[in-house]
Structure 1
Amino acid sequence: MVGLCTGIALLEAGHHVSIVDDDAEGKAASWGNAGHIAVEQVEPLASMSMVRSLPQRLFLRGGPLGFPPSAIAEWMPFGLRLLTAARPAQFRKGCQALAPLLAGSMPAWTSLVERIGAPELVKQDGHFVLWHGERAAREGRASWMASNTGSAQVQDATDAERAMLSALGRAPVADAIRFTGSGQIADLGDLRQALGNAFAQRGGKRVTQRAELRAAGGRVEIAGIDTEQVLVCAGVRSRELMEHLGHKVPMIAERGYHIRADASHWPADLPPVVFEERSMIVTRYRNAVQAASFVELGKVDAPADPRKWERLERHVAELGLPLRRPFRRWMGCRPTLPDYLPAIGRSTKASNLLYAFGHQHLGLTLAPITARLVASMVAGEQPELPLAPFDIQRFA
């Protein structure tokens, strides 16, 4: 997502651009996410409130957070760095860094889809958060009302909206809130096709191979590609590319899971719905309904854990939601750094190397605004937002 958006921005600025990518089938996390343009997520997940809630969030206790024992060498050092980033002073700095990025994300999206001739792909209908239990509703509502939600606004769901949400399942909704200012992608598959077409129409080239970087004379080259500047935006695979060049990148594969079903039984005009007690978001796309959940800190290439899909299917069944079998199962790796801020900047190891990765849960949300920042750097201009908080050297 970040690569295609940035490629389009660079082509529009007059550059010649090649994308080197071996994900021809679109299996990366960009194409399996919840489709939610999450402008409200100003507060980084690296926070003391999140740390305090860890025991209740563990997968073994019915929660969404998994720490596979086989991946302890990955999540233990990552967790220690996260604890440092969660300290109040660092958390406040993270909020200050994310706020302007997120404030510009929806305008950047609407501008992009207009330019590529697909404005219908971005829906600005907000989203719902609901609770079935009275205590969960009180605590959840209070938490959101006390949170910094940036450009998004929180309001009570109307009686009609609560009735509609209750009708989705077998249990009445105890409470629900609606966010305005957030949005969704109408369909991720259609978005991938539209971005790919726009990139090609502007003269971009696609090279379907695994990128191999090599350093020479203070610069970086891509094997087999003639290039003046190199941008690393390979999601979770960026770590190996950047560390090969001497950068410290304490990024982990934060694995998420979803199930998909036919859309015929789900309301066509319903925005994304977050079932907060289940840590599950359900999104209606054009031809499918998707339920997504879980934060599994693990290895990039480890096999998927079928228990995650089984629990998602159990959530759907217990709630009585109108998602019908057969389900299509997917797992993907979010590229997450310990402070839950992206890495965007220019390398100190090679004069022609730039990077834009590590967007954790916000890769979809921040892709077009990241593209604008990178285009400014390539042009030698001052980016519209300060990039110091996103410098990868913060981990050196």
Structure 2
Amino acid sequence: MLVIGAGVIGHACALGLQQRGWRTILTDPDRVGAAASWGNAGHIATEQAQPLASPATLRSAPRRLYAFGGPLALRDPLSIAPWVWRYLRACTPASYERGRLALRGLLAQALPAWRRLAQTLEQPELLRETGHWLCWESARSAQQGREGWQRSDIGDTRFDALAASDLDALRTSLRAPIEAGIAFSGTAQIADPRRLAAALHERYQAMGGERRYDRIEALSIDDDGVLARTRDGAQLRAERVLVCAGARSRGLMASLGIDAPLVAERGYHLQWADHDWPDRPPVVFEDRSMIVTRFEGGLRAAGFVEYARVDSPPDPGKWRRLRRHVAELGLPVRGEPNEWFGARPTLPDYLPAMGRSARHPRLHYAFGHQHLGLTLAAISGELMAQAMSGIEAPTDLAAFDLARFGGR
């Protein structure tokens, strides 16, 4: 079995297959951990049970545009016009409701699956079930924000007013006025994405998995199996293939004549190694659409939803705005931060694609997890390994089949 893509989804799937007796080869050219799997906020976002393809998100889009101070940027609008059309169709009430129920079912299993994966890695402390905080800087935004969350489907999580002691401590840490906050329970964080990447890699190899660093450019399938062609002209042969290549999955599927309407939805972060931020859960500054997470390796401020070509250069203005937010908040950081950007693989209905091709039975896929790749990695790995091993899974993957876009 050839697994293409060694992000958190690919690793979780390859581990699940190894556990069920498969011999897998995991290949990805990323040697330094630059992928979106390791550049995110580390948040296990089980509260995000409402797909972002929704009437509410569509209504709020104009005021969230980057030009008006928001996180939403359209850098290559013409290139994603077909995707936008499909997104609009996915925002109809009926389509949204189907997506909500499907996503809610996955998220209900996400945290238990992460507990099992952390045990498999023999590092249960990687998963920190401390919830997260969300705060506002004005009375108006606090009222609107609370009302919005009260109307939202937050799955099996819950929230309460942030404890007075925690609110006071947050105010003490910052220069900006914090009007109010809420504390979520039932969510979690990864202690450090780099340590997670190393733990996945080490455990996979300890279980007998083979790791390669090829850039797979195209696939072909015949009666003898799957042929994967690398950038340097080499060829890999396997009995089956599982595509988990994130935003680059679209090209691999297209080489087999399958439409996977992915876009690269990019995020940015800054991370400081030197800081005085206390050991507390991730904090979302909702007025700024920014989340701040303390990791073992430093303090990370992350944000933005930038639609661009997967290989477009980064926009330095995003990092400048993050720096301004950090300065205005008065986050206790020192020195120069590390700058990062990466592409989330996003489908028009904001649901992942997981399943097996009807046209090419040797082809399996798991990609398109958008903002929830880290959150859904462990359960995705379990479900894919079960389905590919012929075991009846607790969740029907039909809602995540590419057939919903006409791709088979």
Q: TM-score, normalised by structure 1?
A: 0.97
Pairing of 1:58-69 with structure 2 (within 5 A) = 58-68=65-75
- The whole-number CA distance in structure 1 between the counterparts of 2:148 and 2:18 is 43
Paired residue for 1:28? 35
Corresponding residue number in structure 2 for 1:220: 226
Name which of 332, 335, 342 aligns with 1:332: 342
Structure 1 equivalent of residue 94 of structure 2: 89
**Would you say 1:240 and 2:251 are equivalent positions?**
yes
Cα separation, 1, equivalents of 2:396 and 2:127: 27
Q: Which runs of 5+ in 2 are unaligned?
A: 1-7, 230-234
Question: Does 156-165 or 34-43 show the bigger shift?
Answer: 156-165
Q: Is residue 275–residue 334 contact of structure 2 (8 Å, CA) maintained in 1?
A: no
Q: 1:162 & 1:76 partners in 2: Cα distance?
A: 43
Q: What displacement does 1:218 show?
A: 9.0
Superposition map of 1:118-129 within 5 A: 118-129=123-134
Native 8 Å contact 1:105 1:365 kept in 2: yes
Q: CA deviation at 1:292?
A: 0.3
Partner of 1:294: 304
Q: Secondary structure at the match of 1:339?
A: coil
Q: Deviations over 1:14-67 (max 9, x none)?
A: 111110111112111001011000000000011111111111101011110001
CA apart distance, 1:93: 0.6
Question: Does residue 244 of structure 2 align to residue 249 of structure 1?
Answer: no
Partner of 2:275: 264
1:57-80 CA-partner distances (Å, limit 9, x unpaired): 010111100011xx1233322222
Once the 2 structures are TM-superposed, how far is the Cα of residue 381 of structure 1 from its aligned partner? 2.0
Q: Secondary structure at the match of 1:73?
A: coil
2:93 and 2:141 map into 1 onto residues whose CA distance is: 25
Correspondence list, 1:15-164, <5 A: 15-68=22-75, 71-164=76-169
CA distance in 1, matches of 2:343, 2:176: 33
Q: CA deviation at 1:362?
A: 0.4
More displaced stretch, 232-241 vs 160-169: 160-169
Give the alignment's TM-score, normalised by structure 2. Answer: 0.94
What runs of 5+ residues in structure 1 fail to find an aligned partner? none
Write the distance in 1 (CA, Å) between the matches of 2:20 and 2:135: 43
Deviates more, 1:210-219 or 1:285-294: 210-219
Find the aligned partners of 2:100 and 2:290 in 1 and give their Cα distance.
24
1:348 to 344, 358, 376: 358
Identity of aligned residues (%): 46
Residues 31 and 192 of structure 1 are in contact (CA less than 8 Å); yes or no, is this contact kept in structure 2? Answer: yes
Taking only aligned residues, the RMSD between alpha carbons, in angstroms, comes to 1.2
1:245: Cα distance to partner?
Answer: 0.7
Aligned counterpart in structure 2 of residue 358 of structure 1, from 345, 360, 368: 368
Give 1:264 shift. 3.4
Q: Displacement, 1:393?
A: 1.2
Whole-angstrom distance in 2 between the partners of 1:72 and 1:56: 17
Equivalent pairs counted in the alignment come to: 393
TM-aligned CA deviation for residue 219 of structure 1? 5.1
